[in-house]
Amino acid sequence: MERRGLLYIVSAPSGTGKTTLCKQIVHIVPNLWHSVSCTTRQPRPGEEHGREYFFIDDRTFQEMIERQEFVEWARVYGHWYGTPRKAIADKLDQGVDVLLEIDTQGAAQIKKKFQDGIYIYILPPSLKALRTRLQMRAGDSAEEIARRLKKAREEVWSYREYYYIVRNDDLKQSLKELESIFIAERIKTKRLDIGWLEANFILDKEDKEGESP
């Protein structure tokens, strides 16, 4: 039996450090591919087309919706975000695990279709800590920070929809927890390769005779 890839979905209130964690975890966990989403928002300083996002214009985004090229899409803070379908399906078919870094709206859409996905929520240590982080991040206006914080306050409670909670207090500890989720999910009994089991634990006649006392 060919192994099919697992789908890991990671969400977090804005400013929680989700992007940093997701960028690093793919270097720690083997056989894991980080899906790149499309967005109509402007790149932030340091972001690169095709790495953090595919930065596309509104018209291209609408055309992709019409051609059903997104597995989910949503409007967040006045911009469109969408997850391209084909690349993900290809990776899963190849037996590669896929990491989706998406917002709570997107995750809710995915969850309707993929109950078997592994849903992970990142929380900041506290709302106070989150405010400090948003204020320190470059490129956002005071108004945008206030808007994000208000939204984060509501989004925290989406945690119920996820299977695991990572409290992102210390980066190293959070990476260790994320890695543990990825490893533990892969060795769940329901994912065991029965072909491997049969090949190694069903003896042929010769083996059996060698074992008799």
Which residue ranges make up the site for its own copies (CB under 8 A)?
A: 121, 123, 125-128, 131, 142-143, 146-147, 149-150, 153, 156-157, 159-160, 162-166, 176-177, 179-185, 187-189, 192, 197, 200-201, 203, 207, 210-213
Which residue's CB is nearer to its own copies, number 85 or number 167? Answer: 167
Kind of pairing between the strands at 79-84 and 70-76: antiparallel
Closest to 81 measured CA to CA, from 89, 90, 72: 72
Q: Which residues of 38-48 are buried (b: 16+ CB within 10 A; e: fewer)?
A: bbbeeeeeeee
Query: CB 57 → its own copies: shortest distance, Å?
Result: 28
Which residue's CB is nearer to its own copies, number 24 or number 43? Answer: 24
Report residue 204 CA to chain centroid gap.
44
Q: For residues 159 and 156, what is the distance between their CA atoms, to the nearest angstrom?
A: 6
Query: CB 168 → its own copies: shortest distance, Å?
Result: 12
List, as one string, the DSSP characters of 195-208: HHHHHHHS--HHHH
Binding residues for ATP: 12-19
* Residue pair 148/14 in contact by the 8 Å Cβ criterion: yes
Query: CB 38 → its own copies: shortest distance, Å?
Result: 29
- SS3 (DSSP) at 24: helix
Query: CB 127 → its own copies: shortest distance, Å?
Result: 6
Which residue's CB is nearer to its own copies, number 26 or number 65? Answer: 26
Which residue's CB is nearer to its own copies, number 66 or number 207? Answer: 207
Which residue's CB is nearer to its own copies, number 64 or number 110? Answer: 110
Binding residues: 12-19
* Residue pair 82/64 in contact by the 8 Å Cβ criterion: yes
Which residue's CB is nearer to its own copies, number 67 or number 205? Answer: 205
Query: CB 132 → its own copies: shortest distance, Å?
Result: 12
Query: CB 105 → its own copies: shortest distance, Å?
Result: 19
Q: For residues 101 and 35, what is the distance between their CA atoms, to the nearest angstrom?
A: 7
Closest to 16 measured CA to CA, from 129, 119, 106: 129
